[in-house]
Amino acid sequence: MSDLLAVILAAGKGTRMKSALPKVLHNIGGKPMVEHVMAAAHMAGAKRKVVVVGFGAESVETALGAQAEYVVQAEQLGTGHAVMQTAACLQDFDGTVMVLCGDTPLLTGQTLTKLFAEHQAQQASATVLTACMADPTGYGRVMRDHSGQVLKIVEQKDAAPSELAVNEVNTGIYCFERTALFDALRSINCNNMQGEYYLTDVIGILAKDQAKVWAVQVDNAEETLGINSRMQLAEAEKILRKRTLVNLMDNGVTIMDMDSTFIDSQVCIEPDTVIYPFTWIEGATTIGRGCEIGPSSRIQNSSIGENTILHFIYAHDCQIGNHVTVGPYVHLRPSTVLADGVKIGNFVEVKNSNVGECSKIPHLSYIGDTDMGAGVNIGSGTITVNYDGKKKHRTIVEDGAFVGCNTNLVAPVTVGKGAYVAAGSTITKNVPSEALGVGRARQSNIEGWANKENLVCVKP
Ligand code: UD1
Ligand code: CA
C-alpha cells in the first residue's frame, strides 16, 4: 500500500459567511469544520496533513496546532494555484496526495477510505470523487466519453449548455499520484471565465496524456455538501447532529426527542443512559451507563459516572461520580468534583470544590472553593464566604459534619470531623471535631412588647 498524505485547501475567506472568522473555523458539531475534514482524512490513513492557509492564516494555525503542517497561499488565485504552493513541502513525499476542501465537514472517513482503495486498485494517476445531483448548479461537471472514461471537468461558469445538462459533479475531492499531479500543474493556466488556476484542469491534462484517470461516485451526495453560507452551515449542523444521535442510539443510548437534543460528535455516552428533551451535551464529555440526563440541561467538558441523574442543570468542566443526583436548577462550575452518591438539590451553585462520598447539599446553597469530606450534610441556604474582595479562600468541611441551615462559613475556615454548626451561624473560627459551633446573637424575648404605647403599627 502506498503512503497517503492529505492536502486541505483552506485559504479562502468564505465571503458569503460575512464573518471576521475564516470560514473553515466556523464550528459545526462542536468543532471547526476543517477539523472534521482532518479527522476523515486521518481515518482514511493520511498520516501527514498539509493545510493551505491564506485568509486568517494565523488563526487557522492556532486552532489546528501541531496536528497539521501549513503552507501559505498569499493570494487566492485558484484551487490549482493553492495546490502548487505545497510543491516544496511535498517534494520528498513518495505516494498518493489526497486533495480535500476545508469546507466539507460532512465527509466521512469511510468514503475517503473507499476513494483511496479504488485509486490504488485501479493504479490510477488521478481519481476524482464525484456525486450525482438533482440540481448540479454551481459545481464543476464531470465529462465522460461514450465508454464512461473521464475526459475532463468543466466549471459551471465555463460550461456550454450541453455540458451544464450533466448532473455528475466534481466534489472537489481527489487522489493524485504526487509526480503526476505536480507535472500536470505545470501546464495549467488561467485562461478561463474566472481568471483562476483551476485544479480541475489537471484531470483533463492527465486524461489527454493517456494517464489513468478514474472516478468514484459517492454513495450519499449529502456528504460532500460544501459550506458557503450561514444557511448551509445550519443545514450541515442538522445533518451532522442527526448522524451523531443515530450513532448514539445504535449504541444503546435513548434519545427521547431528536429535535431538541444537541450532542457534539466527540461526546461518548454508554448504553442505557436516557437523554431527555432540551439537552445540550458538548465538548469533551463522557457519560457512563444508566444515567438520566435532562430535561433542559447543558453539560460541557465534563465526565459523568454511572447511574447518575442530572435534571435541569448546567455543568461545565466538572467531574461527577456514580449514583449522584443533581438538580433541579443547579449550576456546577469548573473544577467541581462530586464523589459517588452525592446529592445536590434545588437552586445550588458549586464551584471549584470537592464534595465527598454521599454528602448532601440539598437546597439553596453556594459552595465555592471548598473541600468537603464524606457524609456531610449542608443545611438549606448555607453559603461559603470565599472572597474577601481580593483573594479567594478555601473552606474545609470534614467527614460527617452537620452544618445547620442558613450558615455563613467565612473562609479560610474548617468545620471538623463530626462537628455541628448551629443554624443561622456566621462561622469565622474553626469548629473542632465533634464540637457545636454557634455563631449568632442569642435570642431574647421582650414580654408585652407589642402593647407598648409608642408602637405605631395599627392593630386590626
Ligand atoms: C471547486 C471546484 C469545482 C467543484 C467544487 C466542489 C475548482 C476550480 N472547482 O469549485 O469543480 O465542483 O469545488 O465544491 O477547483 N481555495 C484556496 N485557494 C484558492 C481558491 C480556493 O485555498 O485560491 C480553497 C477554498 O478555501 C475552498 C476550496 O479551495 O476551501 C474550494 O474553493 P472554492 O472557491 O469554494 O471552489 P468552487 O468554486 O466551489
Ligand atoms: Ca466551494
CA 23/CA 16 separation, integer angstroms: 9
Ligand 2: distance of its center to the CA of 76 in Å? 13
pLDDT tens for residues 399-453? 999 999 999 999 999 999 999 999 999 999 999 999 999 999 999 999 988 887 6
Q: Count Cβ atoms below 10 Å from residue 246 Cβ, excluding itself.
A: 12
Residue 206 near residue 213, CB atoms below 8 Å: yes
Atom index in ligand 1 nearest the CA of residue 81 equals 23
Q: Which of 60, 77, 79, 143 to mutate to test the pocket of ligand 1 (most atoms within 8 A of CB)?
A: 79
Q: Is the CB of 103 under 6 A from ligand 1?
A: yes
pLDDT band at residue 456 under the 50/70/90 scheme: low
Q: Whole-number mean pLDDT of the chain?
A: 96
What does DSSP say about strands 31-32 and 27-28: parallel, antiparallel, or unpaired? antiparallel
pLDDT band at residue 12 under the 50/70/90 scheme: confident
Helix (H, G, I), strand (E, B) or coil at 105: coil
pLDDT tens for residues 126-150? 999 999 999 999 999 999 999 999 9
Handedness of CA 256, 259, 260, 265 (dihedral sign): positive
pLDDT tens for residues 35-45? 999 999 999 99
Ion ligand 2: protein residues whose beta carbon lies under 5 Å? 226
Give the pLDDT confidence score for residue 8 in this predicted structure. 98
Residue 322 near residue 306, CB atoms below 8 Å: yes
- 311 labelled catalytic: no
Q: What is the pTM of this model?
A: 0.86
Residue 114 near residue 220, CB atoms below 8 Å: no
* % the chain with pLDDT above 70: 98
Per residue, the 3-state secondary structure of 218-247, as one string, reads CCCHHHHCCCCCHHHHHHHHHHHHHHHHHH
pLDDT band at residue 273 under the 50/70/90 scheme: very high
pLDDT tens for residues 84-136? 999 999 999 999 999 999 999 999 999 999 999 999 999 999 999 999 999 99
pLDDT band at residue 195 under the 50/70/90 scheme: very high
* % the chain with pLDDT above 90: 95
Taking the chain, what is the end-to-end CA distance rounded to the nearest angstrom?
96
Q: Is the CB of 78 under 6 A from ligand 1?
A: yes
CA 379/CA 373 separation, integer angstroms: 15
Give the pLDDT confidence score for residue 458 in this predicted structure. 59
CA 341/CA 355 separation, integer angstroms: 10
pLDDT tens for residues 217-264? 999 999 999 999 999 999 999 999 999 999 999 999 999 999 999 999
pLDDT band at residue 460 under the 50/70/90 scheme: low
The single residue of 311, 331, 363, 393 carrying the catalytic annotation is 363
Q: Which residues contact 94 (CB under 8 A, 6 or more apart)?
A: 2, 3, 178
pLDDT tens for residues 310-329? 999 999 999 999 999 999 99
DSSP 422-443: -TT-EE-SPBPTT-EE--SPPP
